[in-house]
Amino acid sequence: MLHLDLSQGVAAVVARLRDLAPPAADIRSAVEDIVADVCARGDEAVRALTHRLDGVELSEDYAVPAADLEAALAGLAADLRRALELAAANVRAYHEHESAASWEITLPQGQSVGQRVVPVQAAGLYVPGGLADYPSSVIMTATPALVAGVERLVLCSPPRPGGGVAEGVAGACALLGVRHVYPIGGAQAVAAMAFGTACVPRCDVIVGPGNAYVTEAKRQLTGVVAIDGLAGPSEVVIVAEPGVEPEWLAADLLAQAEHGAGAMAVLVDVGGALTAPVGAAVEDLAGRWGLPHDQVALVHCRDRATALELIDAFAPEHLELHVDDARELLAGVHNAGAVFLGPRAATAFADYVAGTNHVLPTGGAARFGQGLSVTDFQKRIAVVEIDAAAAAALAPPTVAIAEEEGLVAHAWSARVRAGGSGGGWRPSADGR
């Protein structure tokens, strides 16, 4: 456990906290090779890479059969299935409030302008796996895409040694109606979804968390395909004042730390009375559960104003406000992926069933980014309609700007709309 004091200055403390996350391995070259191989050889490369990196032999057509997905759903324990159904319902209800509608207005010159809001046609969903099973990530990535109206959802998740994807992932896919499921992981999965292969449909956007290879592949393929963001180690900042149960705080800190792979958990102790009891509770619970806690930091903070300064400088993925008037303190928060108000609002609830999305910006990206949303799966197409009267009104200012920029055809295109043949006007050599 790391002990820090904000009397050292916010910038110094933020820098020290960021140092808790290990630097990313230099994997750029390896990912470049994987991406190039999949681009050149398609499924042949995917099968070879899966055999080499995961030790799994993929068949010629390696899509997970629909019958296997349905069997996995039928095999889920009843309480797990009910929990996944509740999570799916709550996450859908949350995301339905994000849906944007097409619109159109008429401006003073008479032209009609607007936007058509349309879904992308194919969305790639990456669900991490390895030896773990993350059905919650199926719900979090698929649901906003379904609300957006995406026609084809393509999901990739690392293969299990015996083939296929993790049972919970397969069951969640069947529950939500995700039918294009492929047991491939890592950079090769991202490349397959970005370029398309004989087996894997080409996608317009790829979303979802993954390891460093997945993140680097998303970085390299941005522009070939849209992405939601570049995920790093998970993180939580908990601001607390006296009166909160130390064991609750310790449990939340360790819940974040158990994500592993550089995940960090920070307690901002306003007033300094909680550091000792929370530190003791962390030691006790970590020992009881066999969890590492070297990524836990306890920060002494003199007042709320300093805590808010730290929050906005650190821009945490998750922010818990364990204070009596949390909603009042929320008004001063500008940078956070998700905020949890009050001592009972543990991040763990939102990781699964509370309704908000758990795919959130990390590493300070909450300064400019946000959680996965319906808008990640939508495009806005500008629409313009101009009648004769509007053309006549718009032509003079269009011509004035076009002539200033020396664009002859632009000016002529506007003039002819304003007066049929352009009133006999023809552009001279200098465009006038």
- Give the C-alpha separation, 113 to 93, whole Å: 31
CB 304 within 8 A of CB 270: yes
Q: What was the pLDDT predicted at 19?
A: 86
Q: How far apart are the first and last CA of the chain?
A: 74
128 CB-near residues (< 8 Å, 6+ apart): 134, 137, 157, 158, 185, 208, 209, 210, 211, 214
Please, what's the b/e burial string for 310-336 (b: 16 or more CB within 10 A of its CB; e: otherwise)? Answer: bbbbbbbbbbbbbbeebeebeeebebb
Q: What is the pLDDT of residue 425?
A: 45
The one-letter amino acid at 130: G
pTM of the model: 0.92
Residue-level pLDDT at 163:
83
pLDDT at site 420: 52
The DSSP-derived string for 64-79 is PPHHHHHHHHHTS-HH
Distances (CA, A) of 210 to 126, 132, 187: 7, 12, 9
Cα 235 from Cα 216, distance rounded (Å): 20
Q: What is the pLDDT of residues 15-55, one digit of tens each?
A: 999 888 777 778 999 999 999 999 999 999 999 999 999 99
Catalytic residues: 317-318
Q: Is the Cβ–Cβ distance between 285 and 250 less than 8 Å? A: yes
Domains annotated on the chain, with CATH: 2-21+232-354 (3.40.50.1980), 28-99+119-229 (3.40.50.1980), 386-432 (no CATH)
- The answer to whether 145 and 39 have CB atoms below 8 angstroms apart is no
Task: Yes or no: say if 112 and 98 are a contact pair by the CB < 8 Å rule.
Answer: no
Q: Is 82 helix (H, G, I), strand (E, B) or coil?
A: helix
Token duo for residue 377: 């799966």
Cβ-contact 35, 221 below 8 angstroms:
yes
* Residue segments in the chain with a per-residue pLDDT below the cut of 50: 421-425, 431-432
Q: Which tokens go with 102?
A: 């097409």
